Amino acid sequence: MVPESVVNELENQLQSKEFKLNSLLEVTRAINYNKPVSEILDIYNFILREQLGIRKFVLYNHQEKWQIITKVGVKGKIKDINIERDILKFKDITVIESSYKKSLNNFDVIIPVFHKEEPLAYLFVNGILDDAPDNKQAFENLNFIQTLTNIIVVAIENKRLANESIKQQRVRQELEVASEMQRLLFPSQLPSNSKIDISAKYLSHHKVSGDYYDYIRLNKDEFIVCIADVSGKGISAAMLMANFQATVRTIFNVQRPTLEDLVLDLNDKVFTSAKGEKFITFFIAEYNSKTRQLKYINAGHNWPILIRNKDSQFLNKGCIGLGMLEELPFIESDTVTIKNNTTIVLYTDGVVELENATEEQFETDRLTKIVQSFYPLSMEDLNEIVFSKLDDWRGKKNYVDDTAILSCRIF
């Protein structure tokens, strides 16, 4: 006959295994049904508190930074535990004998959770060693809690990654729309005739651009050329530029402002949109073919080069970049008389700041010499040669910025 103590032990083992199996099934069912994190944590808390009798525990989880995602039986904030500094050294379940950290002395066991050798969570528990009938039972419970916690935090991490993936997909869709909008705002055709020859070439470092150029026909005798570059990188900078492009086009579609009024209006709009965190450098020129006068304002942009034969000058009069300050402290325009067969080259800093293998920049002098050397060519061919020279200059290095050039010859 089997002793009663052995029967009781077997029954306890069976009940324990059944409880653990049911607990795991309940948790995995909630995960598979894509229940919210709060509901999954409620189930986890219930298992530890009500079914295992743990009255005090805290679970830290790493999501960009270490933070408490659930706690039971602990009041107030835990201020003296720094996971990075104090806890990462624990790789296995560890009994806390005593600690100089006051908060740690409120617990008796640290249960670490690793996934692919990366620490995901640390569970601090109190009372589990006292309540267990023997060391074997306590050890089995700790291992079960570690397994259960592992399942919980990996599920939370997967949810976080899934949400991040959804956000990234949404961002990609928004970028597609912004990219298409920008593409439509760039001039689809540039004139090449007996009066003017305009051509542009552009390489975008990202899907949405931080550079902008434009040609706007005002009437049969007058036109606008402009170029701009936004400070900083990333989606917010590109979206600011996309809005800027649309604003410039809209203004000229509904009115004919002076260049001074236009720049003041644009400065106000950029400052309001970017709140002083970003700014836009901008060059705009207005040409009248009857008077052969070119009026321009350079708002902190790379100086366009005006070349006739071997003579060159920079178009550098204007003001600071748009959006740097709420009000422009000064603004200056300049007017240049354009002689026959004059070339004007507008470009962004991606051209002159391109580095070679020794981190030397291309610089404006090299660009000027190229334009002077290939002066007789069409503007399209000139731009191709400039980019060919840029490719030779960078060698195996990649372009690290948006790069744009707009060349205009006035006959």
Q: What is the CATH number of domain 175-410?
A: 3.60.40.10
User: What is the rounded CA–CA span in Å between residue 407 and residue 53?
Assistant: 78
Q: Any idea what DSSP says for residue 84?
A: I
Q: What residues of the chain score a pLDDT lower than 70?
A: 1-17, 129-137, 174-175, 177-179, 181-182, 185, 205-209
Token pair in block for residue 121: 């969570």
* Helical H segments across 275-378, by residue range: 349-352, 363-373
* Residue whose entry in the numeric block shows the structure tokens 């009500």: 50
Closest CA to 341 of 310, 318, 316: 310
Domain range summary for the chain, segments of one domain joined by +: 4-162, 175-410
Q: Are 98 and 105 in contact (CB under 8 A)?
A: yes
Burial of 163 (0-12, 13-18, 19+ CB in 10 A): exposed
Give the pLDDT confidence score for residue 21 in this predicted structure: 74
Dist CA 400 CA 195 (whole Å): 36
User: With the C-alpha atoms ordered 350, 398, 202, 255, is the resulting torsion angle positive or negative?
Assistant: negative
- Position 12 scores a pLDDT of 47
CB 240 within 8 A of CB 280: yes
Which residue carries 């604003």 as its tokens?
247
Phi first, then psi, for residue 143 (nearest 5°) are: -65, -40
Euclidean distance between CA atoms 60 and 83, whole angstroms = 8
pTM over 0.85: no
Say yes or no: do domains 4-162 and 175-410 share a fold: no
Tell me the Cα Rg of the chain. 34
The one-letter code for the residue type at 201 is K
Angle, CA 201 vertex, CA 197 and CA 207 arms, to 5°: 145
Alpha carbon separation from 42 to 26, 27, 37, 48 (Å, rounded)? 12, 10, 9, 10
Residue range 4-162 in CATH 3.30.450.40: yes
Neighbours of 73 (CB within 10 A): 14
Q: What is the pLDDT of residue 41?
A: 93
Beta pairing, strands 280-288 & 211-217: unpaired
pLDDT of 283: 97
Q: What is residue 204's predicted lDDT score, i.e. its pLDDT?
A: 76
Q: How many helices (H) and strands (E) does the chain have?
A: 9, 16
Q: Which pLDDT belongs to residue 214?
A: 93
> What residues pair up with 226 in beta bridges, in sequence order?
214, 284
Report whether 403 contacts 354 (CB < 8 A): yes
- Dump pLDDT digits (tens) for 356-394: 999 999 999 999 999 998 988 999 999 999 999 999 999
Beta-carbon count within 10 A of 392 CB:
9
CB 182 within 8 Å of CB 242: yes
